[in-house]
Amino acid sequence: AQKVTQAQTEISVVEKEDVTLDCVYETRDTTYYLFWYKQPPSGELVFLIRRNSFDEQNEISGRYSWNFQKSTSSFNFTITASQVVDSAVYFCALSGKEGGAQKLVFGQGTRLTINP
């Protein structure tokens, strides 16, 4: 069965620190997609990134970067020089044929608090 584990329930850092959010997944699919979403206090879900299983290149977008390692089934998310506006709950998610196309499996989420 597909599963996404975000072991860190809550993280609290001081502004400008770097912070990494861990995500470990399980799937029997050879083709699958991994996602990160941000849920700010207002509640909506904001798409951050989608990565397919054949593309193990790390991705950088401004202060955000993602490290995909198939060997350890991990898709970690790093925020560099964190800011108060980064405070949110972050979800890692997985989709693949095993679970049904488009049926995203979400992790429990990591609540990130950036203190000024």
Partner 1 sequence: NAGVMQNPRHLVRRRGQEARLRCSPMKGHSHVYWYRQLPEEGLKFMVYLQKENIIDESGMPKERFSAEFPKEGPSILRIQQVVRGDSAAYFCASSRRTGTNEKLFFGSGTQLSVL
Binding site for partner 1 (CB under 8 A): 4, 6, 31-33, 37, 42-45, 47, 50, 52, 91, 93, 95-97, 100-109
Return the number of the residue (13 or 104) whose C-beta is nearest partner 1.
Answer: 104
Contact 46, 86 (CB under 8 A): no
CA distances from 29 to 43, 53, 54, 57, 71 (A): 31, 9, 12, 19, 14
* Shortest Å, Cβ 29 to partner 1: 8
Minimum distance from CB of 10 to partner 1 (Å)? 10
Residue 39 C-beta: closest distance to partner 1, Å: 9
What is the DSSP secondary structure assignment for residue 8, as one 8-state letter? -
Distance CA 89, CA 68 (A): 20
Q: How far apart are CA 88 and CA 91, in angstroms?
A: 10
Nearer to partner 1, 16 or 100 (CB): 100
Nearer to partner 1, 53 or 80 (CB): 53
